[in-house]
Structure 1
């Protein structure tokens, strides 16, 4: 595949502008071969959808090859009908990375100059203004990708290096480029694919993977502050219920908790019952904990399974060719089909969204228990140790976490089952995968806000107890949080600190030291 962008992490790095995307010589040859094959088919006046015919239900119209550039331009024009706020900078870059990956397979017929220009846009950090709404994901992401095609042609608005929106023609002049003239199959190769959904889904995958890992670290600190039983993390429990995610969580939690003296240690032999005068002895210590502690491997393990299933779907999609028609130069074939239909990504995104909502709920329940003095094993109400009542600590932040969960639940209706026929019933079923992927992105952002609140609360709890008794992982997590927010000794506004910690948790570079904890031998 590509020299510079093979894994989801590398795709994220390219989308964030932290790594260049480079095509292999094999991919360059494949792009040229497909384009040469297309040019030959056009010269032979072969009937090819979208190249020598109209579009959608108008494909009954044959179009002379001499009208190629106008046909491609009109495709872009009629599809540039997106509405709503623009997609984020990183989402547009991810869309471009995904589109290049598809074109580089050598079955689309796009001009090699088009692919080179897309790579140059990434290197220059030039992104088009792409409205976020207006695609049903059926013939791929026609509408958002059309706005990319328009900008490549020197029209519409673009942003250079994250700056203000300017005319695309102006940006071309600044960079010394001539706008592209799309012809042949250039426009339809650009717009007829799932790349908007796939790009956003790729970023959702890596963000969700980190969210599960961060939740694992938070759960461990939470369990230590509540003096939980380490026994629940024992890998032998997972061995009897061999879901991969649950087993992974057992390994992480068991390994990371090995250095903790705050947890009740596991003993292979249980203590014998005390002598009982009347056959019972009441008010003995509980031998096991509430579910937010005891079921952590099961709850987060199930989420990890969903994230990994989503990741596999995205990996397959990013290695796929998703436009129409498809060119097979070696076999002298042009095949018309439906690889642009984004149902797999739609289903995977909706499934992931459910897991993220549940993770948010789980985090909020941890916050609720640890800030409740009736349940928090001696910790003060809302983590406010001084003049409690005069100061309210994290009371408001806990309410914000609850509100975020309620909002997430209200947006949990699956998008993938909302098919509405369109396009004169040519697109009589549609997957709506882009809506699903965008919703996951929103849910992920709100989940990180909740995890940020939890991180601030637990860091406060770590200070109120003996941090030396905590595991090495929890001590590292505490120190990491303190880089972004000081201890809460008296009430102050927390909005900015929550936002700062949330942004840091979502940034792969910022949390790299925390991610390394789960890659260590002890984990």
Structure 2
């Protein structure tokens, strides 16, 4: 049996418009079975929240099934209260994928026609305008999903194939479609779930995994520029502190550095101490490196643990049915509960956000050390090779990295603990998961900007040292960066280089050759 599970990477590709979403036969049958069961339950005049009753505190009121279409339409109308700038097209597509993935489990009762239309919207790249703010994530992501439902009904605005916003009805006319009329449980099945949060979290998960892998490659190049001690990467160190992330980072860094001639090699048998007086030699090189290098497996390993925990939470949520009520056709049951309450993703997103901020901090500290001539072992100040003083090199870029980290820190307050009762105290606790997921997404964007600055600086350093002894991984990174940004010989504006490189680093396809270096090591 094909359970239709989709990996985070597949969902990312669909959200980016680089892959189609295909439903399995099992999913199509499950949708048909659940909808038939719903129709039968309505004919029996069973009490079903949001189908034969009002909503929220008004659920005590009964609604004639003949008013089904108007009830569903009014649900969409009163929830279309989102404000602020629109969510990005990729976030909305991810939301649509997450909603479809939940509905096709066969416990929501959505009309198969609705399922087909959602799938068709993704295929032709028709994306509704969805305001970013206005959901507390308590009864699901009611507000953003309502804007999707409104667009499916031929109202609001949409973007077709990435174009400008146009009226939804105009797009329907261009495509030869009739807007949907939502009936039965269609509207509440659409809006009453965690799919905005889950979709954004899915994209955050893959972007965070990618950022960690790229940061690992940058750490290796940084270590080579400073002739760091390879000993700190030894896997035996991780075995004695067996956190999965730390062990993974030891494995990656040890394996990738095996062919490096730039690191200080590890000697299983240390040299004996020379005869010397007891006084300390003040100017001998330290036998151990600064923590940005020596503690990289511990620091980034801890981040990897958080990233993987967040990814697992996103995977589980994307395999879940998160609306209310839930239909169990095989057992003749309609159960009312709270699967729409997005607390798990709220906690996971806040936890991820802390790790992302810390990863940006590590990068900024590496940039600071490698551009400081008092600490960078012979490299010029701010990597400026010609007429230092007349030219300032990466001085401004280093300040920008510091500013980005400062701003990230100011956005570190958890959203998941900010519960405010609403909805006439019906929603007396709320998780605010969408805010947490959006914040983590913003942090990822700024993290990639910091990593872009670091990549520019480190590659410049490698060229200034003319380091033919770099590891294959570092040489590959240098080649990749140089395809996007030229060396800095004389001062020039760097904003465009940083933006172009940050965008490329965040792209799963453009960085595939780099992340494959780590994936090959397991």
1:466 deviates by 2.7
The answer (yes or no) to whether the contact 1:27–1:105 under 8 Å persists in 2 is yes
Partner of 1:174: 174
Partner of 1:402: 402
Matches within 5 A, 1:228-239: 228-239=228-239
3-state SS of paired residue (1:159)? strand
Q: Deviations over 1:376-429 (max 9, x none)?
A: 000000000110000000000000000000000000000000000000000000
Alpha-carbon separation, structure 2, partners of 1:278 and 1:218: 40
Partner of 1:187: 187
1:285 deviates by 2.2
Partner of 1:476: 476
3-state SS of paired residue (2:468)? helix
Alpha-carbon separation, structure 2, partners of 1:467 and 1:448: 26
Matches within 5 A, 1:67-466: 67-278=67-278, 280-466=280-466
The answer (yes or no) to whether the contact 1:346–1:431 under 8 Å persists in 2 is yes
Partner of 1:66: 66
1:519 deviates by 1.8
The answer (yes or no) to whether the contact 1:4–1:10 under 8 Å persists in 2 is no
Partner of 1:506: 506
The answer (yes or no) to whether the contact 1:419–1:432 under 8 Å persists in 2 is yes
Partner of 2:495: 495
Alpha-carbon separation, structure 1, partners of 2:517 and 2:490: 32
Alpha-carbon separation, structure 2, partners of 1:177 and 1:482: 47
Q: Deviations over 1:124-156 (max 9, x none)?
A: 000000000000000000000000000000000
The answer (yes or no) to whether the contact 2:3–2:27 under 8 Å persists in 1 is no
Alpha-carbon separation, structure 1, partners of 2:301 and 2:62: 55
CA-atom RMSD in angstroms: 1.0
1:280 deviates by 4.7
Give the TM-score taking structure 2 as reference length: 0.99
3-state SS of paired residue (1:259)? coil
Give the TM-score taking structure 1 as reference length: 0.99
* Closer/same/farther in 2, CA of residues 53 and 42 from structure 1, 3 Å limit: same
Q: Deviations over 1:152-174 (max 9, x none)?
A: 00000000000000010000010
Give the aligned length.
522
* Closer/same/farther in 2, CA of residues 2 and 452 from structure 1, 3 Å limit: farther
Q: Deviations over 1:214-261 (max 9, x none)?
A: 000000000000110000000000000000000000000000000100
Alpha-carbon separation, structure 2, partners of 1:3 and 1:10: 15
Alpha-carbon separation, structure 1, partners of 2:280 and 2:38: 85
The answer (yes or no) to whether the contact 2:303–2:359 under 8 Å persists in 1 is yes
1:465 deviates by 1.1
3-state SS of paired residue (1:476)? helix
Runs of 5+ consecutive residues of structure 1 not aligned to the other structure: none
1:284 deviates by 2.4
Alpha-carbon separation, structure 2, partners of 1:5 and 1:481: 35
Alpha-carbon separation, structure 2, partners of 1:395 and 1:302: 30
The answer (yes or no) to whether the contact 1:4–1:21 under 8 Å persists in 2 is no
Runs of 4+ in 1 over 2 A off after TM superposition: 1-5, 277-285
Runs of 5+ consecutive residues of structure 2 not aligned to the other structure: none
1:278 deviates by 4.2
